């Protein structure tokens, strides 16, 4: 097996380690011209986390294999890559969210935990949208705590599912909306439904997926979603729901 190239290892270290730890390593390397056995030992010891220490050791080995590259050059490349990775993370981070059977092959975030994260991440406003909603006391409690912090909460439901009953304790702190077109009969049979499942914190974090806001969907069904932090998607969703309410496409729930 061919050993990873120095540039590949630098990219992996910058992607894996926190930016402050990348800076610690870069500062150390900047004072060393060529790798020595003592330098490589100290490089690994710079990182207290065992997993991250493995990354530092891999960087040392790759640097040692390319002895014509100075420590200052490696430090510059590491800093530049680390900053690029951090900027990309600020712009948009996407994680897969899942309810149901898990495997060792892929690590996935659990739906309930991610939903609670989005609720707690809100600072000014929170939009929660669900076709059905019931038996979610943890979510309601988190939303109540969020309201106590002064966050404006908007909940959009499909009235046909009696989802509003799940938010009885939120009536004084949340605005409930519905889509009047929901329930309209179609000429081909069936009815139109408000079938969106999403949660948006301010304009920076959004969870979109298949899971309704029900105990079963959040803990027992097989459900799939995406958590988006940063970037355009949360901003667009935030603006979209504001516009739907302002244009009265979504209207307050009576009572």
User: What values do phi and psi take at 131, rounded to 5?
Assistant: -65, -50
Q: Does domain 93-252 have CATH number 3.90.550.10?
A: no
Q: How far apart are CA 238 and CA 230, in angstroms?
A: 12
Q: Given a cut of 50, is residue 1 above it in pLDDT?
A: no
Q: Can you tell me the mean pLDDT for 12-38?
A: 84
Q: Given a cut of 70, is residue 118 above it in pLDDT?
A: yes
Global model pTM greater than 0.75: no
What is the pLDDT, as a whole number, of residue 146? Answer: 95
Q: How far apart are CA 213 and CA 131, in angstroms?
A: 8
**Location of structure tokens 């120095």:** 6
Q: Can you tell me the mean pLDDT for 171-179?
A: 93
Handedness of CA 166, 171, 172, 173 (dihedral sign): positive
Q: Given a cut of 70, is residue 255 above it in pLDDT?
A: no
User: Count of CB atoms within 10 A of residue 47's CB?
Assistant: 20
pLDDT tens digit sequence for 51-76:
677 888 888 888 888 657 888 999 99
Token pair, residue 212, equals 């309704």
- What value does the mean pLDDT of the chain take? 89
**Strand pairing class (213-214; 133-134):** parallel
**Domain span(s) for CATH 3.30.870.10 in the chain:** 93-252
Q: How far apart are CA 132 and CA 45, in angstroms?
A: 52
Q: Can you tell me the mean pLDDT for 90-103?
A: 88
Token pair, residue 28, equals 């150390």
Q: How far apart are CA 188 and CA 177, in angstroms?
A: 27
CB 174 within 8 A of CB 145: no
Q: How far apart are CA 157 and CA 247, in angstroms?
A: 17
What is the pLDDT, as a whole number, of residue 67? Answer: 59
H or E element in which residue 176 lies: strand 174-178
């Amino acid at each position: 097996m061919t050993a990873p190239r120095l540039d590949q290892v630098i990219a992996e270290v910058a992607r894996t380690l926190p930016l402050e730890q990348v800076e610690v390593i870069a500062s150390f390397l900047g004072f060393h011209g060529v790798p020595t056995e003592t330098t490589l030992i100290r490089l690994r010891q710079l990182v207290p986390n065992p997993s991250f220490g493995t990354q530092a050791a891999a960087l040392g080995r790759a640097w040692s294999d390319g002895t014509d590259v100075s420590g200052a050059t490696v430090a510059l490349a590491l800093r530049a890559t680390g900053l690029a990775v951090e900027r990309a993370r600020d712009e948009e981070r996407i994680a897969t969210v899942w309810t149901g059977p898990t495997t060792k092959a892929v690590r996935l975030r659990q739906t309930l935990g991610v939903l609670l994260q989005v609720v707690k991440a809100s600072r000014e406003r929170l939009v929660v949208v669900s076709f059905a909603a019931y038996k979610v006391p943890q979510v309601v409690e988190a939303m109540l705590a969020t309201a106590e912090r002064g966050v404006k909460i908007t909940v959009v439901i499909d009235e046909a599912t009696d989802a509003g009953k799940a938010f009885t304790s939120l009536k004084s702190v949340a605005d409930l909306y519905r889509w009047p077109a929901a329930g309209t009969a179609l000429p081909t049979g069936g009815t139109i439904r408000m079938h969106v499942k999403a949660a948006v914190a301010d304009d920076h974090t959004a969870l979109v997926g298949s899971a309704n806001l029900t105990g079963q969907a959040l803990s027992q069904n097989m459900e799939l979603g995406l958590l988006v932090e940063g970037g355009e998607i949360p901003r667009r969703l935030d603006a979209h729901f504001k516009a739907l309410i302002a244009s009265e496409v979504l209207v307050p729930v009576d009572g």
